Amino acid sequence: MISNCPHCQGALKFNAAQTAKIEQALKALKPGKRLPLKCPHCKQPMQLDAAGQAEGAGSAASQKSPEKIPANAEQKAAPKASESGDQVIKPPPPPPLDFLEENMGGIMDDHVRDVPMALVLHEDDGFRHQLAAAMEALGYQVMTLTSPQEAIDQVASISYASIVYHVSFEGGALNDSIFHNFMRDMPMSKRRMIFYILIGPNFTTLYDIEALANSANLVVADKDVKNFQLVLHKAIPYYEQLFGPFLEELSNYGK
């Protein structure tokens, strides 16, 4: 089992529960796969093989050349001109969801982290339980509430790593939601630390532009709630990889 970070050489100390979880995740790894971990000292990511050893910093895997963009990519992406000569700006298409059909076995232990808090706000008891179970399976400590004002009071006093909100939670339009507007008006110093998830019948799962337009980090369609754990397994690591260094740098400057 790895004992030092390959980047900063800091000692990696795991308690019994963490060690057992890591070993279980390593046993579930498919051939050629790696278990991602983040160093608690330098915050750099590392990849563990089935033997629990990390690829060295600066290895061939970490120096992989960026994928080349075809020369005609710009032409294919260029918007078509309308008859009046104006440019028609089209948003990029939503991502493919083929992965939702994949086997979910072994995904629970891929990411080992401290126990974060999550808040689930859904009007239906059955869906609320299903969403909470998916979050707990990924290591979250989950709280569920039925009152928007109580939820606001909780978020104001507790540091939640993730919040799941269904658009019909308050019975009206999303833009009229007390809680959603509270999230949109939240100071960015706190808001950027919360992974805010919106669920509703008209969303396209994992469509980043739709999430951005609704002041959220992730949107999920009602029909994909049955695969909520798998959606989170894909979305959260991607978000951490994309924004983790930026958030870390802001934290270093006290922001």
Say if pTM beats, i.e. exceeds, 0.85: no
Same domain, 55 and 118: no
pLDDT at 106: 44
Token digits of residue 140: 């979250």
Q: The tokens 């080349």 sit on which residue?
A: 68
By CB atoms closer than 10 A (0-12, 13-18, 19+), residue 38 is middle
Residue 75 has pLDDT above 90, yes or no: no
Lowest mean pLDDT among 68-72, 106-110, 180-184: 106-110
What's the CA gap between 180 and 199, in Å, rounded?
12
What's the CA gap between 137 and 140, in Å, rounded?
7
SS3 150: helix
Show the domain range for 120.
113-231+239-252
Residue 155 has pLDDT above 90, yes or no: yes
Total number of domains in the chain: 2
By CB atoms closer than 10 A (0-12, 13-18, 19+), residue 172 is exposed
SS3 113: coil
Q: Is residue 78 in some structural domain?
A: no
Confidence category of residue 44, pLDDT binned at 50, 70, 90: confident
Mean per-residue pLDDT, 214-220: 94
Same domain, 42 and 118: no
Same domain, 245 and 120: yes
pLDDT at 59: 39
Residue 177 has pLDDT above 90, yes or no: yes
Mean per-residue pLDDT, 136-158: 92
